[in-house]
Amino acid sequence: MKKTLLGLSALLTIGTASAQGAITGAGASFPYPLYSKMFAEYKGANVNYQSVGSGSGQKQILERTVDFAGSDNPMTDAQLKDAPGKLLHIPTAIGAVVPAYNLPGVSKPLNFDGPTLANIYLGKIKTWGDPAIKKLNPGVTIPPLPITVARRSDGSGTTFVFSDYLSKVSSEWKSKVGAGNSLQWPVGTGAKGNDGVAGVVKSTPGAIGYVELVYAKQNKLAYGAVKNRAGKFIVADNGPASKAAEGVVIPADTRVSITNSANAAAYPIASFTYVIFYQDQKYGSRTEAQAKALKNLLTYMVTTGQQYNEGLDYAKLPAGVANKAKNIINSMNYGGKKL
């Protein structure tokens, strides 16, 4: 039966894969601009993707109501253990999460470091005139507006990436809040999706929010440079985001964190974004043809589809990571039969 679902970034009319021959996915808003382009250009099948947040995508793949989930953080061992079948992860891009802000009259990108961002989100730094912010930005005139903290209200992989970074650079953040898709926030105005947080920042002088780079650019938001482990202030871009993965040991299952990279050229709040799917595609009413269609789509995403990454402010997969992803895709089967 056909039904209409409202995602955070688009209205999609979809049916089940078996009913319409479409491939369905749901999850992270972080890669939504990229996936929209990839799927519009893909000729192998119709693909419908709901931008509803990583947490919702993980829930839907566990319930087997979609063919694949999008998530900016890999699922935990405990989550995978509870799944009705073996779930696989493949990265499709590297993206950067940026501190976007609305400060009238400030034209130069502000500098931030991890402890300062943590203290803003802990509610300890309440105004833009705070000495910690001034110390990082000598010579910059910053209006002493109160800080409006914007954050996600939904289960979010972007939240996981940001809080994973803060947990690595602030012991207080790690002990009081920690890392996760959904958090007990000390302060802040909640909004759904990267686009929701961007909307709060855009409409509120004095606001700060964490969003994926493309959402800051699309909304013409100012965003700051962030001090990395080498002590360099780095402005997010494809190159610095890609550098975050260099020198990191990528496990065979590709589930890894690349925040706060030791690479001196790396932007520190960067992450792979993942597609999650079942290794054995024979479940429910799925056919072998549907399984092959999903395999073909996933192969396209880590090969030909990579041509769209950089134009939309995502970094391409490094060659070694792309090869690991292809190996994972090739392990898919249908009732034990290799696809």
Provide the pLDDT confidence category of residue 10 given band limits of 50, 70 and 90. very low
Q: Quote the pLDDT of residue 321.
A: 97
**How sure is the predictor about 283, in pLDDT bands with cuts at 50, 70 and 90?**
very high
Does residue 5 carry a pLDDT above 50? no
Q: What is the rounded average pLDDT of the residues 233-248?
A: 95
What amino acid occupies position 249? V
Between the two ends of the chain, the Cα-to-Cα distance in Å is: 28
- Token couple for 225: 């440079």
Query: Residue 276: in which H helix or E strand, if any?
Result: strand 270-278
For 26-52, how does the pLDDT look when each residue is reduced to its tens digit (9 = 90+)?
A: 999 999 999 999 999 999 999 999 999
The predicted model gives 217-224 an average pLDDT of 97
Edge-to-edge strand ranges of the sheet holding 225-227: 111-112, 225-227, 233-234
How would residue 17 be classed by pLDDT, with cut points 50, 70 and 90?
Answer: very low
**pLDDT tens digits, residue range 127-185?**
999 999 999 999 999 999 999 999 999 999 999 999 999 999 999 999 999 999 999 99
pLDDT higher than threshold 50 for residue 109: yes
**Reported confidence tier of residue 289, pLDDT bands at 50, 70, 90:** very high
Short-list 73, 100, 92, CA closest to 213:
100
pTM, two decimals, is 0.91
Structure confidence at residue 3 (pLDDT): 33
Closest CA to 208 of 269, 160, 147, 278: 147
Strand partners, 227: 233
d(CA 163, CA 180): 7
Residue 11 has pLDDT above 90, yes or no: no
Answer with the residue of higher pLDDT: 195 or 19: 195
Whether the CB-CB separation of 317 and 91 falls below 8 Å is answered with yes
Task: Give the per-residue pLDDT at 93.
Answer: 98
Q: Grade residue 221 by pLDDT with cuts at 50, 70 and 90.
A: very high
> Looking at residue 127, what DSSP letter applies?
B
> CA angle, corner 271, sides to 64 and 240, nearest 5?
155
Give the per-residue pLDDT at 8. Answer: 37
Query: Each residue of 304-333: pLDDT tens digit?
Result: 999 999 999 999 999 999 999 999 999 999
- What does the pLDDT average to over 224-248? 96
Contacts 24+ apart (CB under 8 A), 248-255: 250/320, 250/321, 250/324, 252/324, 252/327, 253/88, 253/89, 253/328, 254/74, 254/89, 254/90, 254/91, 254/321, 254/324, 254/325, 254/328, 255/74, 255/75, 255/89
Residue 126: the pLDDT is 98
Tell me what percent of the chain is helix, strand and coil, each rounded to the nearest 5: 35, 25, 40
CA 145 to chain centre: 29
* Average of per-residue pLDDT values in the chain: 93
Among residues 272, 267, 75, the alpha carbon closest in space to that of 161 is found at: 272
DSSP E strand boundaries for 38-181 = 47-51, 68-71, 87-101, 111-112, 148-152
pLDDT value at position 12? 39
